[in-house]
Structure 1
Amino acid sequence: MEYDFLRNTITDTVFARFSMDHEALGFWLSEELADNSELYVEICQQIERLQNGQGNEWRLVGKALSLELDSEQARIFANDIEDNDDQELDESMSFYDGESEAFCGLEDFYEVIVNWRRFLDEN
């Protein structure tokens, strides 16, 4: 998983750009987590809780994307992604959901949000 954190100097906004199949994670960081330090702390606490075996999973529903954590992985997904599950496609076709759903290991996710917070603090 490759990513960059960037600042648009014209609009003075920050955003995250992720490699293919992880684009949803970049959008979630940029739009849902953004610079919300209280939410950052809450997510870090939940990750620590899950890593210590205190609970099975945790979910945060956002405006457009939601975050789901369990003891092994993080899942970012569009709130309307379940709507696509009901649609049937020809066998040779499939939905590309890289922009609306992404998975990564819990430790990798933690590293990403720590780096995101560090980027915001430095800028």
Structure 2
Amino acid sequence: MNDPPSGAADFGRAGVGDRPVRTGADVTVSTAVRYALVPVSRLSLATVARRSGLHPDLVRRFVALGLVDAERDAAGRLSFDPTAPAVLARIQRLRSGLCLNYASIGLVLDLLDRISLLEAALRDRGTRRETPPWT
């Protein structure tokens, strides 16, 4: 009964940050929701594989490992955020540069995201540091 209008199905939640962030012993979940003002274009598996230069099976494996986020449509096909090729490139750089296995890459990605959040919080507070950020 409360179905959205015919064009509204393309407008969805974009950039939903529901990833748990560890703080000490407890886990908090960010529930901030941002709505797109324009339709969010999703990328198919073939497009992501072509843009990242990886085999589609390897991209599927990354999705199964939780290294890259994807959604399934009604037919069961994977669809990706437009930033997925950049995430896959980051995974490949970590794998080749640090010789990490894929399980440890997930941990490193989480730690890098946490560092980015902490540095952003420092910038927002206006705290000045004598040393520039390491990144």
Q: Under TM normalisation by the shorter chain, which class is it?
A: under 0.3
* Larger RCO (CA within 8 A; separation ≥ 6): 1
Rg (Cα) greater in structure: 2
